[in-house]
Amino acid sequence: MFIGIDHGTAAMRFASGTGRFKLTREEATGFTAADLGQLCPPDDIEGIALSYSMGDNFSKISNIKKIKNRGIVSREGAGKHIGGGTRVFDEIKKSGIPTVVIPGLHRGSPTDPRFKAYSHQSSPEKIGIAFEVCHDLGDDIVVSDASSNTVTLLISAGKLIGAFDACIFAPGSRHGALDVDAIRRVDAGECTANEAFQQAGVNYTLPEEDNLRIRTVAMFSAMECAALLLLNPRARVALAGSLAPLIAPEVESLLDTDVAVYDEWCASRGLARIAHDVFSGADEILGLGVDL
């Protein structure tokens, strides 16, 4: 049995080929490896693929024993810090179960160098999403994960080409890019940059009436997809995340193409699939090397 663990903004999601469960980030502060028994007997676990935070201090899918500082440059920066993800990482490492940690996409990643104009492109769980979607739709895809934040990735010929991270382009429900007003508030000392990032989503910047928030996420998600389709016009388009079913009709209309829709479990299922392939001998996943 292989398990994928998705470190999401609001929850930790755990999936195998046959089961799944999730914990809020707060609930995850009490996690132990025995909780994996909800999926299968712990002795039946052959391997785990784990995502944690930004995954920005390594660039290969790596054995958890080789990862320093849990795979991140710093805990400071964009994101909400609760401790659930840290607890899960440490308990999995302590368990001795064979585990790989998935990197995020950043300047050290084998993506198109033009995307490295920005230091960070995608957090690690999006790699699980991309792998799951490629399994279904083929080696040329654009996938936009829309939930608390919105991140969109391009895969061409089975390789990760690049991505737009949440703080660069499209807003989600909670997070978004820092605009002029946000920069002014940071400069005035009214909030930190991280606090501004966590209040830049449509739930904070737009009223609820006329379904405006969902329509806005749909428009910007479609714009990210359209931008990446410039680099691969033949790519198929997919949406994932909690907002995917809500924005799909408008994204299809804006892009004038069919859009595949995936649910909130896409990342953890894809990570479980990565674990299976890595522990079965794969030496690369979507162009990312493997270091066991």
Supply the DSSP string of 111-179, one letter for each residue. Answer: S-GGGGGSSEEE-THHHHHHHHHHHHH-S-EEEEEESSSEEEEEEETTEEEEEE-TTTS---SS-----
Number of domains in the chain: 1
For residue 202, tell me if it sits in a domain.
no
The CATH number of residue 275's host domain is 3.30.420.40
Residue 194 lies in a domain: no
Q: pTM of this prediction? A: 0.94
Structure tokens of 222?
């479609």
On whether residue 191 sits in a domain, the answer given is: no
256 in a domain, yes or no?
Answer: yes
Tokens 């944690």 correspond to what residue? 52
Assign residue 98 a region: left if phi > 0, alpha if psi is -120 to 50, beta otherwise? beta
User: Cα 93 to the chain's mean position, in Å?
Assistant: 21
235-273: per-residue pLDDT in tens?
A: 999 999 999 999 999 999 999 999 999 999 999 999 999
Q: Is there a domain that residue 115 lies in? A: yes
Confidence (pLDDT) at 229: 98
The domain in which residue 93 lies consists of: 2-171+210-291
- ∠ CA 219-221-223 to the nearest 5 degrees? 70
Tell me if 96 is assigned to some domain: yes
Average pLDDT of 145-163?
97
Instruction: Provide the pLDDT for residue 75.
Output: 65
- Segment 114-125, tens digit of pLDDT: 999 999 999 999
For residue 197, pLDDT over 80 is answered with: yes
pLDDT, mean of residues 179-196: 96
**Interval 90-133: pLDDT, tens:** 999 999 999 999 999 999 999 999 999 999 999 999 999 999 99
Residue 110 lies in a domain: yes
- Residue 203 counted as domain residue: no
**How does residue 78 score in pLDDT terms, banded at 50, 70 and 90?**
low
